[in-house]
Structure 1
Amino acid sequence: MSTPITAKLVSELRERSGAGMMDCKKALTETNGDIDAAAELLRKTGLAKADKKADRVAAEGRISVAQGGGQAVMVEINSETDFVAKAPNFVEFTDKIAQDALKASAGTVEALKAASHVDGGTVEEAAKAQTATIGEKIDVRRVARVANDGPLAVYSHGGKIGVIVALKGGSEELAKGVAMHVAAMNPPYVKAEDVPADFVAKEKEIALAAMSDKEKNKPADILDKIISGKINKIVSEVTLMGQPYVLDTNVTVGDALKKEGAEVVASIRLAVGEGIEKVQEDYLAEVAKAMQV
């Protein structure tokens, strides 16, 4: 006797297997609504369908980090849904990939995919196996690696943001604090000299246009000081060195580094899905759509 295939049943299988809605509905149809048999069917047929998921958008996922032997790495592994990204088995998988990257000293995606996976085969093969098992496209998207003889820190904020900071001078504790700051504030530039001249010119133009007629009529040297003050404030806001340090807002990051005689030699920040065009779709609407097809 078959069990009616309802939206609730499809959702339950979706949560249990991590497979796509249409795959769940088809599996339930083929097994007459037997959810256990449908789950087994999805596992058996997953590998054959893995390559068909290549055109899907994987914009969720996780940043995993690893550090050791004077190097630090971050990897971004993408999934299609946040549900999968938070699953314990996916978290374990991405952490293993980070360790693979560290062991192989992989600094490019190509090198990482070709690297040996801790559970056997290559990282690329492991990702394809995950796609088959989970039922979503799993993509090894980015890797970042920094080697440093001095203080080095890698920081992950909830698996959604990863940062590597390397210092010349200072301490590991300071490097970790700066990494936490970069994760929180995401400064576009490290120091004032890094800020593009066209950005500064545009801000000067905006600052001048925003001034009152009374201010514009001040002597040229005073007007220049007013404009310079405004620009210096803006530059401080967009540079790591000029921002108030999140661990002690009474000083800037630059001040904290200077106190320990340190300077930043590398600062890399990755956030899950940045630069990927995400398809916004309501979860319940996805269930309803699957039931109507």
Structure 2
Amino acid sequence: MEITASLVKELRERSGAGMMECKKALAENGGDIEAAMEHLRKTGLAKADKKAGRVAAEGRIGVAQSAGSAVLVEVNCETDFVAKDENFLKFVDTVSQAALASGAADIEALKAAKLADGATVEETRAAVIAKVGENVQVRRMARFESSDNVAAYIHGGRIGVLVEVKGGDAELARGIAMHVAAMNPPYNKAADVPADFLAKEKEIELAKMSDKDRAKPAEILEKIISGKVNRIINEVTLYGQPYVLNTDQTVEAALKAAGADVVRFERLAVGEGIEKVVEDYAAEVMKAAGLA
């Protein structure tokens, strides 16, 4: 079968692969575009496997939302340059929409989800790696399904937040999501703070006190320590923090005024928890030149 320019063009549009790769795939598969498409996917997976060990700590947080449902997805790459690439950004959006539509509750289910062209998220990831030349990973996701107010907020493409608020309105829920993005509270309410964390903080506060203060009566000493620990609780809980949209009141006060309550929240930030490799290229060059 003759490999026409229109056939190559169609395969390029469907696969996103380069012109020569498409022409070669068609030639090796007798002009059968479906077989050529499968061939490109397989070779893409092979390339992806070679890059899988490379650290991917940059990337973007994607979001998708519909009535009562919202998802966040973290997709990583190796450099900030690729994180701004249109192919990568399109993939982040595609994965986010697939996460919402498929109902996937975890990353493995999301990777197996099928897209409109019939390819899975994982197969499409391999194709993106072939395009951008870097390791690309679909790393984490968060999903909220609720009849309450669910707000999704993305800050700069690098921080994503989901918040479920019972009561209040959509504007309040979005404001709380913005607060979580900015302040990153580890816990929601005082009751959520682990007992071992509080015990450790009491121990630290006691150790910081002078001998004179430690000699005070037990009930007074307990009040002093409790006051210090309560301030720490306010610092590490969403409810105890000053509200970023109105620092004259706490988040708890803002919620109380609206008759609302935060049920839960989830915050994803690009690359958190990934150990980045810091490369000193100047030192490498000097070493190679025998100057170091």
Q: What is the TM-score with the length of structure 1 in the denominator?
A: 0.79
- For residues 275 and 61 of structure 1, do their structure 2 counterparts lie closer, same or farther at Cα, with a shift above 3 Å needed? same
1:19-58 correspondence runs (5 A): 49-58=47-56
**1:71 Cα deviation (Å)?**
0.4
Question: Which residue number corresponds to residue 186 of structure 1?
Answer: 184
Question: Which residue number corresponds to residue 201 of structure 1?
Answer: 199
1:75-86 correspondence runs (5 A): 75-86=73-84
1:262 to 260, 263, 272: 260
Structure 2: stretches of 5+ with no match in the other structure:
1-42
Residue pair 2:45, 2:123 contacting (<8 A) in 1 also:
no
**1:50 Cα deviation (Å)?**
2.9
CA distance in 2, matches of 1:80, 1:113: 19
CA distance in 2, matches of 1:285, 1:65: 40
Residue pair 2:88, 2:132 contacting (<8 A) in 1 also:
no
CA distance in 2, matches of 1:171, 1:119: 38
1:1-293 correspondence runs (5 A): 49-282=47-280
**1:118 Cα deviation (Å)?**
4.0
CA distance in 1, matches of 2:210, 2:282: 53
Deviations 1:148-177 (A, max 9, x none): 101110011111111000111111111111
Which stretches of structure 1, 4 residues or longer, exceed 3 Å deviation after superposition? 45-48, 282-291
CA distance in 1, matches of 2:288, 2:63: 36
Residue pair 1:47, 1:133 contacting (<8 A) in 2 also:
no
**1:234 Cα deviation (Å)?**
0.6
Deviations 1:237-285 (A, max 9, x none): 0111101111111111111111111111120011111111111125677
Question: Which residue number corresponds to residue 41 of structure 1?
Answer: none
Residue pair 1:48, 1:132 contacting (<8 A) in 2 also:
no
Moved more, 158-167 or 49-58: 49-58
Note the aligned Cα RMSD (angstroms): 2.3
CA distance in 2, matches of 1:290, 1:100: 47
- For residues 128 and 158 of structure 1, do their structure 2 counterparts lie closer, same or farther at Cα, with a shift above 3 Å needed? same
- For residues 290 and 152 of structure 1, do their structure 2 counterparts lie closer, same or farther at Cα, with a shift above 3 Å needed? farther
CA distance in 2, matches of 1:247, 1:287: 49
Question: Which residue number corresponds to residue 21 of structure 1?
Answer: none
Question: Which residue number corresponds to residue 30 of structure 1?
Answer: none
Structure 1: stretches of 5+ with no match in the other structure:
1-44
Aligned length: 248
Residue pair 1:100, 1:118 contacting (<8 A) in 2 also:
no
- For residues 140 and 281 of structure 1, do their structure 2 counterparts lie closer, same or farther at Cα, with a shift above 3 Å needed? same
Residue pair 1:170, 1:262 contacting (<8 A) in 2 also:
yes
CA distance in 1, matches of 2:285, 2:171: 48
Aligned with 1:159: secondary structure? coil
Residue pair 1:60, 1:78 contacting (<8 A) in 2 also:
yes
Which residue identity lines up with residue 92 of structure 1 in the other structure?
K
Which residue identity lines up with residue 212 of structure 1 in the other structure?
S
Which residue identity lines up with residue 139 of structure 2 in the other structure?
R
CA distance in 1, matches of 2:223, 2:168: 35
CA distance in 2, matches of 1:232, 1:263: 21
